[in-house]
Amino acid sequence: MSDAGDEDDQARLFREAIGQVRRIAPTPTPPRKPRPRPLARMAQADERAAASEFRRALQAMPIGAGDVLSHRVQALPVGVFNRLRRGQFSVQDELDLHGATAAQAETALRQFLRDAQRSGSACVRIIHGKGLGSQAEIPVLKNVVDRVLRHRSDVLAFHSATPAQGGTGAVVVLLGAR
């Protein structure tokens, strides 16, 4: 029993030595780091498939230097498209692809369209050049621009610019809400 008595004495001495105690309020647990955004694997797979299809289409039917780029979705009224063709829309942003390789142009164009969409731009101009100085027999950048624009769901219509805005060396694009 002396062991139990010694323990009681030691506990009593300890309490006397430290004095009065008060309970500390529990500290809240720190917030967790936010979870990383999930990867859009299906969207990435779709992008890869579209890029592959795009490259096949680029090789299948190239557009010539003097050819006019023109496309509209069925839902866009013909009158609106005709206004675009005549250059009656105010261009809100512009991308110049001169000097870019096909891969650089494709990446820059996709990023430019994404940024234009986020900023709310409805009409943009893309300068691709006529391709007269191209090493290839076809205007590479013009073909890249045509194929990318045709495969984007946010592009309502596009048409080669009026002569005053760059003619067949540029294209004016109408963007819709995504």
Work out the pLDDT band at 112, boundaries 50, 70, 90.
Answer: very high
The CATH number of 41-175 is 3.30.1370.110
Tens of pLDDT, residues 9-49: 888 888 888 888 888 888 888 888 888 888 778 877 877 77
Q: What is the pLDDT of residues 40-89, one digit of tens each?
A: 788 778 777 776 665 665 556 677 777 888 999 999 999 999 999 999 99
Q: Are 156 and 174 in contact (CB under 8 A)?
A: yes
pTM: 0.64
Domain locations in the chain as residue ranges: 41-175
> What pLDDT does residue 132 have?
67
The separation between CA 5 and the C-alpha centre of its own chain, rounded to angstroms, equals 76
Distance CA 132, CA 160 (A): 16
Q: What is the average pLDDT value for the chain, to the nearest integer?
A: 85
End-to-end CA distance of the chain: 82
